[in-house]
Amino acid sequence: MITIISATNRSNSNTLKIAKCYEELMKNQGVVPKLLSLESLPIDIAFNELYGKRSQKFQDIETEYMIPAKKFVFIVPEYQGSIPGILKVFLDALPPDQNRNKKAVLIGISTGRAGNLRGMDHLTTILHYLGIHVHPNKQPISQVANLLDLDGKIKDENTLKVLNKQITDFLNW
């Protein structure tokens, strides 16, 4: 199983739009992933889900999306030159060895020019610490607002091409 993680809790985000497009691209390649938006996390995750404490809501997310997954797709927006704090809190709330030796691929999202390259590097370091193998084909998506149509679908053919290539590489890895 593959879990796509839309790594922000911001509502109506471009990150979730890209994650949904990525989900469709994966389905077109014969894979049906699960999509986890961090919007669905418990509102008090930073205070009540750390250090072994678990609400039923968090346990359900962990059981449905994280434990059975063999691979993860992280769609990560740029927040202050890095990753969203909610993603770090989410990773901190998971048991450290739970995802050891699983695989991940990263897509960085930004409204600027760099496609969250720095954030993908930071996330790679965190994932390596957790024992998660990160695929080398990381995709920065810059100027994200210019790549989406009014329905939130990716309209840029070059972006679709590189994402499809990334998916093919990741599925074969």
**Rounded to an integer, what distance in angstroms lies between the CA atom of residue 152 and that of residue 14?**
8
- Token duo for residue 133: 């193998």
pLDDT at 114: 85
Q: Where do we find the tokens 């990741």?
A: 170
Q: What is the pLDDT of residue 40?
A: 92
pLDDT number for residue 13: 93
Domain boundaries, the chain: 2-172
Query: Which residues have a Cβ under 8 Å from the Cβ of 67 and sit 6 or more positions away?
Result: 98
Note down pLDDT in tens along the chain; length 173 residues. Answer: 999 999 999 998 999 999 999 999 999 999 999 999 999 998 888 777 767 677 888 889 999 999 999 999 999 999 988 999 999 999 999 988 999 999 999 999 999 888 889 999 999 999 999 999 999 999 999 999 889 988 989 999 999 999 999 999 999 99
Q: What's the burial of 46, exposed, middle or buried (CB within 10 Å: 0-12/13-18/19+)?
A: middle
- State how far the Cα of 117 lies from the Cα of 126, in Å rounded to an integer: 15
Q: What is the pLDDT of residue 56?
A: 85
Owner of token pair 């760099």: 114
Q: Tokens 């009014």 belong to which residue?
A: 150
Task: Determine the pLDDT at residue 88.
Answer: 95
Distance of CA 164 to the CA centre of its chain: 16
- The secondary structure element, H or E, covering residue 20 is helix 14-28
Tell me which CATH code domain 2-172 carries: 3.40.50.360
Terminal Cα-to-Cα distance of the chain (whole angstroms): 14
